[in-house]
């Protein structure tokens, strides 16, 4: 059965430089009914104003995936990495035994829109690790493109967790499907536009959960872009 989480029902905070929506409990937003889905702990839908950003701060024992939708994000960390994450890029950090980093809008004139995703790792205290990879819109067109996996299969980024993260951009009227195994559940997040998931219309910011062994059917309606999580 599909359980829908509407965009307007998420947690929300507007700090001026940051307008953020929380699918699951995060920071000052707490809802015991929405603590995550399997090992998926955070989906934050962030818009950072020009010149704004997160000063240097630390993380431990979390798998952090950043998906940039529009604009660009400037990143620096204690592992010595410094990069600009552009629209279409996926950044991954294994925080492991500890990492410090900063994230700022790379533009002084345009906002940046991103999704930050946290997965609870399957092992703690690992060596921190960084990866960044571009995934084209064409590669997501009318198919599920694997972005993140536990073993780096199909050109995806390898993480310390048995979670599969896909992205798709179905043409309007075109559908893609994904069958969950009997021991796995799923979650979808609409990053932009509108889609129909198992017959239900979902708009940007909406999400939906599906039980083990069921099938997702995602049909494009209005330039939709969707992230799909296949989880243990």
129 and 166 part of one domain: no
- Give the rounded percent of residues in the chain with a pLDDT score beyond 70: 100
Q: Residue 99 — left, alpha, or beta (φ > 0 → left; ψ -120 to 50 → alpha)?
A: beta
- Domain for residue 78, yes or no? yes
Domain shared by 119 and 146, yes or no: no
Please say if the pLDDT value at position 212 is more than 90: yes
Q: What rounded mean pLDDT belongs to the chain?
A: 96
68 shares its domain with 177: no
What are 73-113's pLDDT values in tens digits? 998 989 988 889 999 999 999 999 999 989 989 999 999 99
Identify the pLDDT of residue 81: 87
- Taking CB atoms within 8 Å and a gap of at least 24, the contacts of 211-215 are 211/1, 211/180, 211/185, 212/180, 212/181, 212/182, 212/183, 212/184, 212/185, 213/180, 213/181, 213/182, 213/183, 213/184, 214/1, 214/180, 214/186, 215/177, 215/178, 215/179, 215/180
Domain boundary pick from 101, 136, 171: 136
Question: Is 3 among the domain residues?
Answer: no
144 within some domain: yes
* Full residue range of the structural domain in which residue 190 is found: 138-231
Whether 62 maps to a domain, the answer reads yes
pLDDT band at 223 (very low <50, low <70, confident <90, very high): very high
What pLDDT shows up at residue 188?
98
Confidence of residue 15 (pLDDT cuts 50, 70, 90): very high
Q: 38-55 pLDDT, tens per residue? A: 999 999 999 999 999 999
Tell me the whole-structure pTM to 2 decimals: 0.96
Give the total number of structural domains in the chain: 2
Q: Domain containing 194 — which CATH number?
A: 2.60.120.10
Q: What is the pLDDT of residues 130-181, one digit of tens each?
A: 999 999 999 999 999 999 999 999 999 999 999 999 999 999 999 999 999 9
pLDDT for 77 equals: 84
Regarding whether 157 and 124 lie in a shared domain, the answer is no
Q: Same domain, yes or no, for 157 and 119?
A: no
């Amino acid at each position: 059965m599909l359980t829908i989480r509407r965009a307007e029902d998420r947690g929300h905070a507007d700090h001026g430089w940051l307008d953020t929506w929380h699918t699951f409990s995060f920071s000052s937003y707490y809802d015991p009914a929405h603590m995550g889905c399997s090992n998926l702990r955070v989906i934050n839908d962030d818009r950072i104003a020009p010149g704004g950003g997160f000063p240097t701060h630390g993380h431990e024992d979390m798998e952090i995936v950043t998906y940039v939708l529009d604009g660009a994000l400037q990143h620096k960390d204690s592992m010595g990495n410094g990069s600009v994450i552009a629209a279409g890029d996926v950044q991954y950090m294994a925080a492991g035994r500890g990492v410090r980093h900063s994230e700022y809008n790379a533009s002084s004139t345009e906002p940046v829109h991103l999704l930050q995703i946290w997965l609870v790792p399957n092992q703690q205290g690992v060596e921190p690790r960084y990866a960044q990879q571009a995934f084209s819109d064409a590669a997501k067109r009318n198919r599920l493109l694997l972005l993140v996996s536990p073993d780096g299969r199909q050109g995806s980024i390898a993480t310390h967790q048995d979670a599969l993260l896909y992205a798709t951009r179905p043409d309007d009227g075109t559908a893609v499907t994904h069958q969950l195994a009997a021991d796995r559940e799923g979650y979808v997040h609409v990053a932009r536009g509108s889609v129909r998931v198992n017959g239900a219309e979902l708009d940007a910011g909406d999400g939906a959960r599906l039980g083990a062994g069921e099938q997702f059917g995602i049909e494009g309606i209005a330039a939709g872009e969707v992230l799909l999580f296949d989880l243990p």
